[in-house]
Chain A
Amino acid sequence: MRLALLIVFCVLAALLSLSIGALHIPLGDLLPALFGRGDDIHITIMQDLRAPRTALALCIGAGLGASGAALQGYTRNPLADPGILGFSSAAAFGAVLALYFGHQNWVTPAALMGAGTGAALLLAMAGRRQSATVLILAGVGIGSLATALTGLLMNFAPNPWALSEIVYWLMGSLRNANFDAAVLCGALTLGGLICLVLTGSDLRTLSLGEDTAKSLGVSLGRVRLLLVVGVALCVGAGVAVAGAIGFVGLFVPHILRFLFGADPAKLIPVSALGGAGFLVLADSGTRVISTNGTVLYLGILSALIGAPFFIWLAFKAGRS
């Protein structure tokens, strides 16, 4: 029942996203236009602009939500998030490197390579150790380094145009959505989601600690490898298309834990759905609020929703 409601929420959010835009398309014409029937302008708008944008928001949200749930399960810490382990920053650094040298086409491979390099560094630093604390410390270190290097590139940006491009890209947006990007991002995210879902039952066993999980036959090395590859694919694909979008991986699993229970195995697919619905709704929100040529960036909006939530969590934890 709760799962059905969550799916309905995603579908409604997706429909809303398809219906919002500069040109009003009647509700009844939306789906026909999506499948190539009706007014030519409507078909072009739906197929080339709104559908890819909606699909991208769904994919990126799903990847971020599932990554957050899996990382929280692994670290057994409800405040873990793809941002904490440095994946987002490493992917962003890769993409900014491409922008710095003026190669727009290289942004996607560079972001994936950034996320992959961050993941490889993380494994090299924390690979021999079994502890979640070491993993988090290594992640925070890598994230800080990537952020510092991104800052360095902005500092030495060759011209104001490159700097503004980097700044706008870092604010996170789906304005450059197109069909090819949606297919690429969808495929990468799907691969990542499969890796993450496969860690589910081992993460559930990890609730009792790493030693007990090991005594129950869980291979910690395998869990960590699947987790790192899964998160790198999901986050790398998302950052490559839409820039840095934070907090989705933090608060989506957190809210869904109240509704669906804390079992990490269940929470990963459920958070993928929740993240998808949330991000598509937030992206629709940016289009409603953006007027007269001033664009509200998705990364800014999700941070404006997510950061107060994080502060509220910290406040609540401090008082209890």
Chain B
Amino acid sequence: MSLQIENLSAGYGKVQVLHDINMAAKPGELIALVGPNGSGKSCLLKTIAGVINPDRGRVILAGQDCVAFSPQSRAKHIAWLAQDRNAAWALSVRALVALGRAPYRGRLGRLSADDVVAIDAALASAHCADLQDRRFDTLSGGEQARVLLARALAVDADILLADEPTASLDPFYQISIMQSLRGVAQDGKIVIVSLHDLSLAKQYCDRILVLDAGKLKADAIASQALGANILAEVFRVTEQAGQFTLAQIPKKT
């Protein structure tokens, strides 16, 4: 299923964050969304997921405007992984991952055989099958991140949007999560992941989108998106022999 975004503007309440974003993605792509803090990465992912409504423009799924989808059918096509890792109650890992099946479950919330298969598959792809009987609140930060990723994978959606899934994790978990996302893309799904770590973006993603102050500054294959200009202008750094240092030129004149 293809994803297309046309002239999208959105924000929180009256504060407009995103301005006129255009992009398209096709199945099998792992796309990194990078940009400084406050550049609108989370806002873009939330708007695609339908968590916030666009002020202008359209999100188009398989040629059809998302507005036409019911919330439940949209939820079956697009999974969104939130940046924060809170769960209100001390649920078991398996029960928490099962929440990803919410769009498929009936009014009384019973799990079907398909749901059980999807939950098992999600636990396996996120490498947390061994944690399934533990309580979520007893896990380490890295384990929690993997479990929440499994929750998003359990939706088995065509499009997975992950908002900084590697933030504040040690390298083992960062790499493990990026590998899981890589696997999801290889299964023919679209994965868009917002990242702060530019090296991870370059190493694992096919394509990089660069956001700055709510505008799309670059959209190119991973090896080319982060050129010297973009690094200096958007991130205020320069790269020499794989090392980032602070750029001397001011961001804007």
- Tell me if A217 is interfacial: C-beta within 8 Å of chain B: yes
The answer to whether A216 and B102 touch across the interface, beta carbons within 8 angstroms, is: yes
A214 cross-chain contacts in B, Cβ below 8 A: 50-51, 71
Interface range on chain B (Cβ under 8 Å from partner): 35 or more
A202 cross-chain contacts in B, Cβ below 8 A: 102
The answer to whether B100 and A216 touch across the interface, beta carbons within 8 angstroms, is: yes
The answer to whether A217 and B82 touch across the interface, beta carbons within 8 angstroms, is: no
Please, how many angstroms separate the alpha-carbon atoms of A190 and B72 in the complex? 28
> What's the tally of chain A residues with a CB closer than 8 Å to chain B?
25
A265 cross-chain contacts in B, Cβ below 8 A: 109
Give chain A nearest CB distance to B160 CB in angstroms: 11
Stretch at the interface among A28-36, A105-113, A205-213, A286-294: A205-213
Please, how many angstroms separate the alpha-carbon atoms of A212 and B99 in the complex? 10
Chain A 195-237: CB-based contact to B (< 8 A → 1; otherwise 0)? 0001011101111110111111111000000000000000000
The answer to whether B91 and A209 touch across the interface, beta carbons within 8 angstroms, is: no
Give chain A nearest CB distance to B87 CB in angstroms: 5
- Tell me if B14 is interfacial: C-beta within 8 Å of chain A: no
The answer to whether A262 and B90 touch across the interface, beta carbons within 8 angstroms, is: yes
- Tell me if B84 is interfacial: C-beta within 8 Å of chain A: yes
With known contacts A201-B107, A216-B102, A217-B75, A206–B82 Cβ distance under 8 A:
no
The answer to whether A209 and B82 touch across the interface, beta carbons within 8 angstroms, is: yes
* Closest 10 A/B residue pairs (Cβ): A201-B109, A217-B75, A262-B89, A76-B88, A217-B72, A215-B80, A216-B102, A217-B103, A217-B71, A207-B88
Q: Majority SS of interface residues in chain B?
A: mixed
The answer to whether B71 and A205 touch across the interface, beta carbons within 8 angstroms, is: no
- Tell me if A263 is interfacial: C-beta within 8 Å of chain B: yes
A216 cross-chain contacts in B, Cβ below 8 A: 75, 99-100, 102-103, 155
Please, how many angstroms separate the alpha-carbon atoms of A170 and B80 in the complex? 49
Give chain B nearest CB distance to A125 CB in angstroms: 17
Please, how many angstroms separate the alpha-carbon atoms of A211 and B42 in the complex? 12
The answer to whether A200 and B108 touch across the interface, beta carbons within 8 angstroms, is: yes
Give chain A nearest CB distance to B11 CB in angstroms: 15
With known contacts A204-B109, A216-B100, A211–B89 Cβ distance under 8 A:
no
A209 cross-chain contacts in B, Cβ below 8 A: 82, 84, 86, 88
A207 cross-chain contacts in B, Cβ below 8 A: 87-89, 91, 96, 99
With known contacts A206-B88, A217-B103, A212–B82 Cβ distance under 8 A:
yes
- Tell me if B207 is interfacial: C-beta within 8 Å of chain A: no
The answer to whether A262 and B103 touch across the interface, beta carbons within 8 angstroms, is: no
Which residues of chain A from 151 to 210 have any CB-CB distance to chain B below 8 Å in the complex? 198, 200-202, 204-209
B107 partner, pick from A198, A212, A215, A219, beta carbons under 8 A: A198
The answer to whether A201 and B105 touch across the interface, beta carbons within 8 angstroms, is: yes
Give chain B nearest CB distance to A261 CB in angstroms: 8
- Tell me if A249 is interfacial: C-beta within 8 Å of chain B: no
A201, A209, A265: residue with the most chain B Cβ atoms closer than 10 Å: A201
Which residues of chain B from 15 to 57 have any CB-CB distance to chain A below 8 Å in the complex? 46, 49-51
The answer to whether A208 and B103 touch across the interface, beta carbons within 8 angstroms, is: no
Closest to B109 in A: A201
- Tell me if B225 is interfacial: C-beta within 8 Å of chain A: no
Please, how many angstroms separate the alpha-carbon atoms of A56 and B50 in the complex? 45
B50, B76, B99: residue with the most chain A Cβ atoms closer than 10 Å: B99
Closest to B106 in A: A201
Give chain A nearest CB distance to B159 CB in angstroms: 11
